[in-house]
Chains A and B, each alone.
Chain A
Amino acid sequence: MVRFILQKFAFMILSLFILVTATFVLMNAVPGSPLQREKATSPQIQKNLEAYYGLDKPLIQQYVVYLNNLLHFDLGISMKKRFYSVNKIIEDSFKYSLRLGIVSVITSVVGGCVLGIIAALYHRRFLDNLAMVLAVIGLAIPSMVMAPVLQYLFAVKVRWFEVAGLEGPLDYVLPTIALSSVSIAFIARLIRSTMIEVLHADFIRTAKAKGLAGHLVVWRHCMRNSMLPVVTYLGYLVAGVITGSVIIEAIFAIPGMGKLFVQSVIDRDYPLIMGITVFYAVLLMVCRFLADIAYALVDPRLRIHKSKVGN
């Protein structure tokens, strides 16, 4: 088990290192100095700016400095928003994304589980079919379609919610639905298929035979076993929420990190792009790492298999 965790951890660090290096190389491969502007600046100012951002040093040295700063959680200074540190900019915007992200992860898991359990319990009956049709449609509608349609229906036609912004708790409703519809559908299908399998297992028959009430069988025996694949999916759910947030924040005008990321790409603000990329990557990889460990902890079969074969 310890070996498994250490191995996963080592690979996470290696992946992260590759990503950081690739980001650095890519950002430096772009022709032209990132400090060049439409307005001509005097050579002296240009030199001073380059010195300020450390661009006058040779590339290798820049790379070492960059890595060293990263180790101290220092992501550098933005080029477009002069003298603002990337850390500060990320800190300011991340709180919006974090709140929305947590709300929609919870919505996805709860919504997906409820839908999936209903479908499994009413297998091949009306409710099952209804839930699965909803799930298939939910999977097919991407967030950049879901968000404007919701906006149009519930904020323009029926004025129940605000069109944009993230001030009150009501403002969370539309972005959350748009952000979690795909994962709700995915989790629902996942839960349904494993749950149907589990419902036919012998230990469920035993539980029923000894006279356990229906809801207790579902809660105590089925749920724990059906949750397994969802645990693995959690790492990817976070990835989906981050991807989705880029779109959702643009549509609902939420000043979060997704919006910031797109803006930094359009502005070609290299320190900011690199900073956000590294931040997202760490967030994602840590989540996947935790999901892997959680899975190994919950499923003893994997534990034995992994430690023996290392496959």
Chain B
Amino acid sequence: MQNDSNVNVVQQRSADLFTPLERGLGGSEHIERESMTAWQHVRHRLVSNKLAMTGLVLMILIILMAIFAPVLSPYDHYSNDLPNANQPPSWSHWFGTDDLGRDMFVRTWKGAQVSLFVGIVAALIDLVIGVVYGGIMGYYGGKVDEVMNRIAEILYALPYLLVVILLLVVMEPSLTTIIVAMSITGWINMAWIVRGQIMQLKNQEYALASRALGAGNMRILFRHLIPNAIGPILVTLTLTVPNAIFTEAFLSFLGLGVQSPVASWGTMLNDGINAIQVYPWRELFPAFFLSLTMFAFNVFGDGLRDAFDPIMRKS
């Protein structure tokens, strides 16, 4: 009896406290903001990432300078000018001159050309081989995947720089050799990324729909699946570039890469290091711009990854 009366009291009270809501849609259909496509989301996240944007601006500036600075400058990167050797930075030579009187400003940007060229070409080669190999691995699966994956695993276990240096012993040291050597094991990372993506995507409805409409394997793979894996591919591509730039500078520094008079940041660093006590600018300018370029690509790549992967962004 006691309980019953309690319930009654509660019911009376609640009737006083609450007012019934009008029936209707209320705010449920109200559109707070415009809907965004996946790409708009990515762009939004990327643009709001200040560090990544800094990287992008730096990348563009470096690329522009590498293209135009050597053309617009009155000097070239190979002519000796011995009376003006080892000049400190001044109005006529912004970054000073090296031991042969060559203008460091032009040489620094010529070096940027070499680095960017190696980085971009190596990344593109990795892209082509990696996407095809990884796509086939992921799409066909089973025995094909097993065998191809084993091959990649064995190649991946080979120490990258040893392979590169070994090849350079046999082939003439040149830009082509460096790029070929880097591509031997460089594509594997990309292949694995693409493989993982394709494995996830290949059972999606649109792949099935495309198959039902009579599309062949290659068409499904390259027209439908790969374009949907573009995010991780782009991220890997961006992060390959600084690695390739590092490798080129590393080899040139050791005298195994690009040969003089072609300017490369690696060779310039190696030239400058003997003179660092007396003519520090010969070392510091290429050092600074090499680091800046790697910084820009790394930061932009990180930003791109965060933009494509909203889960990562939270942390």
Interface of A with B (CB < 8 Å)?
A: 11-12, 14-15, 18-19, 22-23, 26-27, 29-30, 136-137, 139-142, 144-145, 148-149, 151-152, 156, 193, 196-197, 239, 242-243, 246-247, 250-251, 261-262, 265-266, 268, 273, 277, 280-281, 284-285, 288
Determine which of B160, B170, B280, B294 lies in contact with A152 in the assembled complex, contact meaning CB atoms within 8 Å.
Answer: B280
CB proximity of B74 to chain A, nearest CB, Å: 29
Set of chain B residues within 8 Å of A288, measured between Cβ atoms: 157
Could you tell me the distance between the alpha carbons of A266 and B270 in the complex, rounded to whole angstroms? 15
Determine which of A196, A243, A251 lies in contact with B273 in the assembled complex, contact meaning CB atoms within 8 Å.
Answer: A251
List 29 interface pairs A-B (beta carbons < 8 Å), by A numbering. Answer: A11-B154, A15-B158, A26-B166, A26-B169, A27-B169, A27-B170, A30-B169, A30-B170, A136-B51, A136-B298, A139-B294, A139-B295, A140-B298, A141-B294, A142-B246, A144-B250, A149-B284, A152-B276, A239-B159, A242-B159, A246-B254, A250-B254, A266-B255, A268-B169, A273-B166, A280-B159, A281-B158, A281-B162, A285-B159
Q: Given the known inter-chain contacts A144-B266, A148-B269, A262-B254, please indicate yes or no for A277 contacting B166, CB distance below 8 A.
A: yes
Asked whether any CB of chain A lies closer than 8 Å to the CB of B299, the reply is yes
Could you tell me the distance between the alpha carbons of A250 and B307 in the complex, rounded to whole angstroms? 40
Taking residues whose C-beta sits less than 8 angstroms from the other chain, chain B's interface range is 35 or more
Interface of B with A (CB < 8 Å)?
A: 51, 150, 153-154, 157-163, 165-170, 242, 246, 249-250, 253-256, 266, 269, 272-273, 276-277, 280, 283-284, 287, 290-292, 294-295, 298-299, 302, 315
**Cβ of B159 and Cβ of A145 under 8 Å apart?**
no
Determine which of B162, B276, B299 lies in contact with A156 in the assembled complex, contact meaning CB atoms within 8 Å.
Answer: B276
**Cβ of B161 and Cβ of A11 under 8 Å apart?**
no
**Cβ of A247 and Cβ of B250 under 8 Å apart?**
yes
Write the chain A residue with the least CB distance to B167. A26
Write the chain A residue with the least CB distance to B269. A144
Set of chain B residues within 8 Å of A273, measured between Cβ atoms: 166, 169
Could you tell me the distance between the alpha carbons of A18 and B11 in the complex, rounded to whole angstroms? 83
Set of chain A residues within 8 Å of B242, measured between Cβ atoms: 140
Could you tell me the distance between the alpha carbons of A19 and B156 in the complex, rounded to whole angstroms? 11
CB proximity of A279 to chain B, nearest CB, Å: 10
Write the chain A residue with the least CB distance to B290. A145
Could you tell me the distance between the alpha carbons of A22 and B280 in the complex, rounded to whole angstroms? 42
Could you tell me the distance between the alpha carbons of A23 and B167 in the complex, rounded to whole angstroms? 9
Set of chain B residues within 8 Å of A243, measured between Cβ atoms: 161, 250
Determine which of A15, A27, A197 lies in contact with B154 in the assembled complex, contact meaning CB atoms within 8 Å.
Answer: A15
Across the A-B interface, give the 4 residue pairs with the lowest CB-CB distance, nearest first: A140-B295, A15-B157, A145-B287, A140-B294
Could you tell me the distance between the alpha carbons of A116 and B272 in the complex, rounded to whole angstroms? 35
**Cβ of B276 and Cβ of A151 under 8 Å apart?**
yes
**Cβ of A23 and Cβ of B166 under 8 Å apart?**
yes
Set of chain A residues within 8 Å of B249, measured between Cβ atoms: 142, 144
Set of chain B residues within 8 Å of A284, measured between Cβ atoms: 159
Could you tell me the distance between the alpha carbons of A262 and B299 in the complex, rounded to whole angstroms? 32
